[in-house]
A and B are shown apart, each in its own frame.
Chain A
Amino acid sequence: MNAINPTGWRPSMGENVPGAPVQTFTGNRGLQLEEALLFELGNADRSGVDFPETGSIDLSALGPMARTERPNLPGLSEPETVRHYTRLSRQNYAIDLGLFPLGSCTMKHNPRLDEKVARMPGFADVHPLQPVHTVQGALSVINELAFWLIELTGMHGVAMTPKAGAHGELCGLLCIRAALEAKGDPRTVILVPESAHGTNPATAAFAGFKVENIPATPDGRVDTAALIARLGPDVAGVMITNPNTCGLFERDLKIIADAVHAAGGYVYCDGANFNAIVGRVRPGDLGVDAMHINLHKTFSTPHGGGGPGSGPVVLSEALSPFGPLPFTARQKDGSVLLIEEEQAHEEQPQTFGRMCAFHGQMGMYTRALAYILSHGADGLRQVSGDAVLNANYVLRSLDDVLDAPFGASGPCMHEALFSDDGFAEGFSTNDLAKGLIDEGYHPMTVYFPLVVHGAMLVEPTETESKAGIDQFVGAMRSLAERARAGDELLKSAPHFAPRRRLDETLAARKPKLVWKED
């Protein structure tokens, strides 16, 4: 195992031999740079920030809880800091580097105008508890975005504060619970199709519901008959993803919604895939009662290595009265009100309450609004059209070399689903995915949805050129052929990434989550 080495990692492999990669003193390989940990580089005396002298400050007002020693946190000077993080950044794949075909995650181009807008001082440098008349511009952004989300989905209202998709799911389910409780009709069961995102059952359980799975039909859609047969006085609602995680449009959603409503329940739609239908289908027309919209997917706020997201929830007329605090309301004179706890008893007496401190993800609202205004109604329609076109092009360009289990179920939506059927004995989806890394791409979503063996879910998005997709298709065809032929080199891929396959079992068996001096 490696010892701590503050000058970089010397490879533990053997001598240079013909044919093997050349070993270097530093462990670096040209522009592929190793980087030590912060704790091996810095110490608590170094700092990249200049402050005035603090030695004479009287600390007596801190009282008995004052520290006697300063915190044990390593610091670096500014040049060292810039270099540390710049070197680390170069070990990441990113949309800015190439096609990022993660199905269901929607990795599309992040416009830089949106970054510029989010940093305008009127949005970035205002405090959430400033007097409302000093933040009218910021409140207008929230109100304007809310208007667009309502119009694009054909719904009645929108809860803006949820912090991400899963938080939005929770918001929708809490609205459903509150609506049922207001009717004196406590129901306990939420029906979730087996192809659903893991967040759906987790959220339903977190909100205190019992989760029951609904099977899929052989063509990759929800089994409408089975779902309707299960409805009854104990069913609070259903959570359906549309387009679903097999990349297909749920044709029967309106029929399902009507049946659920007739049985006294509500319809939650997981809107993670709204980017496939924006400008072409309004979920409100399909009988949906609540749907979250991942601003970081459909409206292209950056994923940032795992967040922050933003998950506003559009609501039907039946659920809107139960939506959370705070929210905005535009007055006739053009000013925007903020409805908080103080105004709730008049403006939103049935609210289920507050989901988080303050007003939600303002920094994401500004980005999403700039994105929406840039596209406009016509551009957003082209967004979904091109996203679906690109996905079908990938599907039909690969379905002779990769098994497409639902290839005969009609056109796909924004993502194309393949399975590992036809790979040589012992070769898996993971091998193909790791091979894709060597080809210079981020792998597609793998082993999801669970309903397909060795699933590979490919979402090219609308921001890829035809030439870019053609090259990706070429790489995929080559890898599919290698997997079918049983090319052993694929099993040890990636060969050219900053790291080779990592030992995840070791990480879980002996968790090492923080750095400790040996």
Chain B
Amino acid sequence: MRYLPLTDADRSAMLSVIGAGSIDDLFADVPAEARLSAPIAGLPNHASEMAVERHMARLSANNVTAGSVPFFLGAGAYRHHVPASVDHLIQRGEFLTAYTPYQPEIAQGTLQVLFEFQTQVARLFGTDVANASLYDGSTACWEAIAMAGRITKRGKAVLSGGLHPHYVETARTMAKFTGDVLDTIAPELAAAPDDAALIARIDGETSCVVVQYPDILGRIPDLAAIAEATQAKGALLIAVVTEPVALGVLQSPGSLGADIVVGEGQSIGVGLQFGGPYLGLFGCREKYLRQIPGRLCGETVDADGKRGFVLTLSTREQHIRREKATSNICTNSGLCALAFSIHMTLLGGSGLSDMAKLSHAAARKTAAALTQIPGVTVVNTHYFNEFAITLPTDARQVVRALADRQVLGGVSLGRLYPQESALANGMVVAATECTTDEDIATLAAALKEVLA
């Protein structure tokens, strides 16, 4: 077996040092009736690298890849171009095969990356501080709601109807068990987001208001107005960013008054990967530092006075605080944070801004082409790189018919909101700097044909 270095001679020599007759003898503490005496029956035995690669390649070939067809899916996961050097660098063994940096003297590489990552995220979000990542955007969103509950000692979160439905469902699952109340506004296919309805729901019991920016339909809420109304009632504003590239051209949530900003970092450096692993981003005001979930990296000095970095404030965390920890999170998304950080370094402020403008331009062109089709209406007044359209028929069927024509045209709202029949004819369409004029023309032609 190619991954096992011991030879039979090694095994015998080692067993004699131990004083055991066989490897099976080392499992003597397992009750005999639970001990298997041979490999589990009915399962295949070991296979060569070539055979495994062939099997996996066959499975891989049985998918329509985003890069092979005109592609317009978004709704929380976006296809952006990732420079080749990102994947090269994250595959360096010193990053890929390192552990969590609990021994800082021999983990300064990972630690400095985390410190730089935290700074990049804080600047992007406009927050004072950021953590070293969480699992993904949806779990980061729940962690923020839980944190707001701890800070305000209140138990009601008001959720915008523009919040990604998977994020709402994740929060709903958790709230069932923690006893928090979620006041969720029903989503609507309207030109503007539900800022006013949201503000009307805030009261003295409200711990936080959760707003996605841009929202699930691509609309752009006025965070400053919501922040003011939220904070006037002693609650916290949580802004959720599922497409961080938007912040290349939109004002940062922190600068507009958000107290906590969370997000999904996937679109920078990480790739689509069928939904995971992704990257939970988390930033907030400095005064809430000790309530932040997950790992934090901080600057310090070593015994010689040289600058160095360590994981810090771990008295918040499960391995120290056990049942009193701020979160049960242990493993985070370190390698995805590295990919995000490298891609962001390659972009810089000017590159991020350019990528955002090109994505926006592609979305505008797409919207212009789709509005020409009879029966298709663009819903949004404003948007970044994603917008909603209404169709004369159920969008699920349309998405399917487009896929049959080798076009991945968007995400139907029926898929996202199976219970909301009023949304069934809606669809969200996203474009990025990867979208070509030819892709747009092909989508428009295919949609026209499907609706004819």
Which chain A residues numbered 424 to 453 have a C-beta less than 8 Å away from chain B?
433-434, 437, 442-443, 448
Q: Write the chain A residue with the least CB distance to B87.
A: A119
Query: Are A75 and B220 in contact, CB atoms less than 8 angstroms apart?
Result: no
Query: Are B345 and A48 in contact, CB atoms less than 8 angstroms apart?
Result: yes
- Is residue A478 contacting chain B, with contact meaning CB distance below 8 A? no
Once the chains are docked, how many angstroms separate the CA of A46 from the CA of B19? 64
Query: Are B251 and A65 in contact, CB atoms less than 8 angstroms apart?
Result: yes
- Is residue A29 contacting chain B, with contact meaning CB distance below 8 A? no
Once the chains are docked, how many angstroms separate the CA of A58 from the CA of B415? 32
Query: Are A202 and B331 in contact, CB atoms less than 8 angstroms apart?
Result: no
- Is residue A485 contacting chain B, with contact meaning CB distance below 8 A? no
Selected from B5, B29, B68, B76, the residue in CB contact (under 8 A) with A248 is: B29
Query: Are A208 and B322 in contact, CB atoms less than 8 angstroms apart?
Result: no
Q: Report the minimum CB–CB distance from A49 to chain B (whole Å).
A: 5
Query: Are A105 and B350 in contact, CB atoms less than 8 angstroms apart?
Result: no
Query: Are B277 and A308 in contact, CB atoms less than 8 angstroms apart?
Result: yes
With a CB–CB cut-off of 8 A, which chain B residues contact A248? 29
Residue-wise, chain A 135-151 has the 8 Å CB interface mask toward B (1 for contact) of 11110110010001001
- Is residue A333 contacting chain B, with contact meaning CB distance below 8 A? no
Q: Looking at the complex, which of A227-235, A259-267, A274-282 is the stretch in contact with chain B?
A: A274-282
- Is residue A408 contacting chain B, with contact meaning CB distance below 8 A? no
Query: Are A357 and B357 in contact, CB atoms less than 8 angstroms apart?
Result: no
Once the chains are docked, how many angstroms separate the CA of A354 from the CA of B59? 26
Query: Are A254 and B34 in contact, CB atoms less than 8 angstroms apart?
Result: yes
Query: Are A70 and B323 in contact, CB atoms less than 8 angstroms apart?
Result: no
Query: Are A410 and B345 in contact, CB atoms less than 8 angstroms apart?
Result: no
- Is residue B186 contacting chain A, with contact meaning CB distance below 8 A? no
With a CB–CB cut-off of 8 A, which chain B residues contact A215? none
Query: Are A466 and B312 in contact, CB atoms less than 8 angstroms apart?
Result: no
- Is residue B451 contacting chain A, with contact meaning CB distance below 8 A? no
With a CB–CB cut-off of 8 A, which chain A residues contact B327? 202, 206
Q: Write the chain B residue with the least CB distance to A167.
A: B135
Q: Looking at the complex, which of B151-159, B196-204, B268-276, B437-445 is the stretch in contact with chain A?
A: B268-276
Query: Are B100 and A303 in contact, CB atoms less than 8 angstroms apart?
Result: yes
- Is residue B190 contacting chain A, with contact meaning CB distance below 8 A? no
- Is residue A172 contacting chain B, with contact meaning CB distance below 8 A? no
Selected from A131, A137, A138, A499, the residue in CB contact (under 8 A) with B104 is: A499
Query: Are A151 and B42 in contact, CB atoms less than 8 angstroms apart?
Result: yes
Question: Given known contacts A1-B301, A35-B112, A71-B247, is B276 in contact with A120 (CB within 8 Å)?
Answer: no
With a CB–CB cut-off of 8 A, which chain A residues contact B449? none
Query: Are B129 and A514 in contact, CB atoms less than 8 angstroms apart?
Result: yes
With a CB–CB cut-off of 8 A, which chain B residues contact A273? none
With a CB–CB cut-off of 8 A, which chain B residues contact A58? 361, 364
With a CB–CB cut-off of 8 A, which chain B residues contact A70? 248, 349-350, 352-353
Query: Are A115 and B91 in contact, CB atoms less than 8 angstroms apart?
Result: yes
Query: Are B97 and A94 in contact, CB atoms less than 8 angstroms apart?
Result: yes
Which chain B residues numbered 363 to 418 have a C-beta less than 8 Å away from chain A?
364, 381-384, 399-400, 403, 408, 411, 414-416, 418
Once the chains are docked, how many angstroms separate the CA of A345 from the CA of B51? 40
With a CB–CB cut-off of 8 A, which chain B residues contact A249? 27, 29-30
With a CB–CB cut-off of 8 A, which chain A residues contact B272? 124-128
Once the chains are docked, how many angstroms separate the CA of A466 from the CA of B4? 11
Which chain A residues numbered 42 to 92 have a C-beta less than 8 Å away from chain B?
42-49, 51-52, 54, 57-59, 61-67, 70-76, 78, 81-82, 84-86, 88-92
- Is residue A199 contacting chain B, with contact meaning CB distance below 8 A? yes
Q: Write the chain B residue with the least CB distance to A119.
A: B87
Q: Write the chain A residue with the least CB distance to B335.
A: A304
Once the chains are docked, how many angstroms separate the CA of A440 from the CA of B15? 27
Selected from A280, A306, A310, A502, the residue in CB contact (under 8 A) with B99 is: A306
With a CB–CB cut-off of 8 A, which chain B residues contact A105? 99
- Is residue A174 contacting chain B, with contact meaning CB distance below 8 A? yes
With a CB–CB cut-off of 8 A, which chain A residues contact B178? 206, 208
Query: Are B312 and A511 in contact, CB atoms less than 8 angstroms apart?
Result: yes
- Is residue A497 contacting chain B, with contact meaning CB distance below 8 A? yes
- Is residue B346 contacting chain A, with contact meaning CB distance below 8 A? yes
Query: Are A131 and B400 in contact, CB atoms less than 8 angstroms apart?
Result: yes
With a CB–CB cut-off of 8 A, which chain B residues contact A379? 1, 3-4, 45-46
Selected from A37, A113, A121, A136, the residue in CB contact (under 8 A) with B115 is: A37
Once the chains are docked, how many angstroms separate the CA of A92 from the CA of B177? 40
With a CB–CB cut-off of 8 A, which chain B residues contact A286? 34
- Is residue B347 contacting chain A, with contact meaning CB distance below 8 A? yes
* Number of interchain pairs (Cβ within 8 Å): 735
Question: Given known contacts A82-B85, A92-B95, is B297 in contact with A513 (CB within 8 Å)?
Answer: yes
Q: Write the chain A residue with the least CB distance to B132.
A: A306
A137, A254, A379, most chain B CB atoms within 10 A:
A137
Query: Are B97 and A96 in contact, CB atoms less than 8 angstroms apart?
Result: yes
With a CB–CB cut-off of 8 A, which chain B residues contact A102? 99
With a CB–CB cut-off of 8 A, which chain B residues contact A187? none
Question: Given known contacts A71-B124, A376-B43, is B100 in contact with A305 (CB within 8 Å)?
Answer: yes
Q: Report the minimum CB–CB distance from A318 to chain B (whole Å).
A: 19
Question: Given known contacts A48-B351, A207-B177, A396-B19, is B116 in contact with A38 (CB within 8 Å)?
Answer: yes
- Is residue A389 contacting chain B, with contact meaning CB distance below 8 A? yes
Residue-wise, chain A 9-20 has the 8 Å CB interface mask toward B (1 for contact) of 101110000000
- Is residue A205 contacting chain B, with contact meaning CB distance below 8 A? yes
Selected from A130, A166, A199, A386, the residue in CB contact (under 8 A) with B6 is: A386
Query: Are A138 and B30 in contact, CB atoms less than 8 angstroms apart?
Result: no
Query: Are B166 and A357 in contact, CB atoms less than 8 angstroms apart?
Result: yes
Q: Report the minimum CB–CB distance from A23 to chain B (whole Å).
A: 11
Once the chains are docked, how many angstroms separate the CA of A248 from the CA of B310? 32
Query: Are B352 and A71 in contact, CB atoms less than 8 angstroms apart?
Result: yes
Query: Are B112 and A37 in contact, CB atoms less than 8 angstroms apart?
Result: yes
With a CB–CB cut-off of 8 A, which chain A residues contact B101? 92, 305-306
With a CB–CB cut-off of 8 A, which chain A residues contact B67? 121, 125
Query: Are A411 and B20 in contact, CB atoms less than 8 angstroms apart?
Result: yes
With a CB–CB cut-off of 8 A, which chain A residues contact B60? 117, 120-123, 137
A38, A378, A411, A501, most chain B CB atoms within 10 A:
A38
With a CB–CB cut-off of 8 A, which chain B residues contact A123? 59-60, 63, 273-274
Once the chains are docked, how many angstroms separate the CA of A121 from the CA of B277? 15
Which chain B residues numbered 15 to 36 have a C-beta less than 8 Å away from chain A?
15, 17-20, 23-31, 33-36
Query: Are A85 and B342 in contact, CB atoms less than 8 angstroms apart?
Result: yes
A107, A166, A169, most chain B CB atoms within 10 A:
A166
Q: Report the minimum CB–CB distance from A353 to chain B (whole Å).
A: 4
Query: Are A513 and B118 in contact, CB atoms less than 8 angstroms apart?
Result: yes
Q: Report the minimum CB–CB distance from B321 to chain A (whole Å).
A: 7
- Is residue B452 contacting chain A, with contact meaning CB distance below 8 A? no
Query: Are B335 and A202 in contact, CB atoms less than 8 angstroms apart?
Result: no
- Is residue A359 contacting chain B, with contact meaning CB distance below 8 A? yes
Residue-wise, chain B 62-105 has the 8 Å CB interface mask toward A (1 for contact) of 11111110010101110100010101111111111111110111
Selected from A82, A208, A296, A463, the residue in CB contact (under 8 A) with B89 is: A82
Query: Are B65 and A442 in contact, CB atoms less than 8 angstroms apart?
Result: no
Query: Are B36 and A280 in contact, CB atoms less than 8 angstroms apart?
Result: yes
Q: Report the minimum CB–CB distance from B324 to chain A (whole Å).
A: 7
Q: Report the minimum CB–CB distance from A327 to chain B (whole Å).
A: 13
- Is residue A465 contacting chain B, with contact meaning CB distance below 8 A? yes
Which chain B residues numbered 105 to 132 have a C-beta less than 8 Å away from chain A?
105-110, 112-113, 115-116, 118-120, 122-124, 128-130, 132
Instruction: Show 6 residue pairs from A and B whose CB-CB distance is below 8 angstroms, ordered by the A residue.
Output: A57-B358, A81-B89, A110-B96, A281-B30, A389-B6, A411-B18
Known: A59-B249, A281-B27, A502-B300; 12 extra A-B contacts, CB below 8 A, are A66-B251, A75-B351, A81-B346, A129-B76, A133-B403, A177-B177, A282-B40, A306-B100, A411-B26, A465-B10, A502-B105, A512-B300
In the A-B complex, the 7 residue pairs with the closest CB atoms: A75-B348, A358-B275, A304-B335, A122-B60, A96-B93, A128-B275, A63-B382
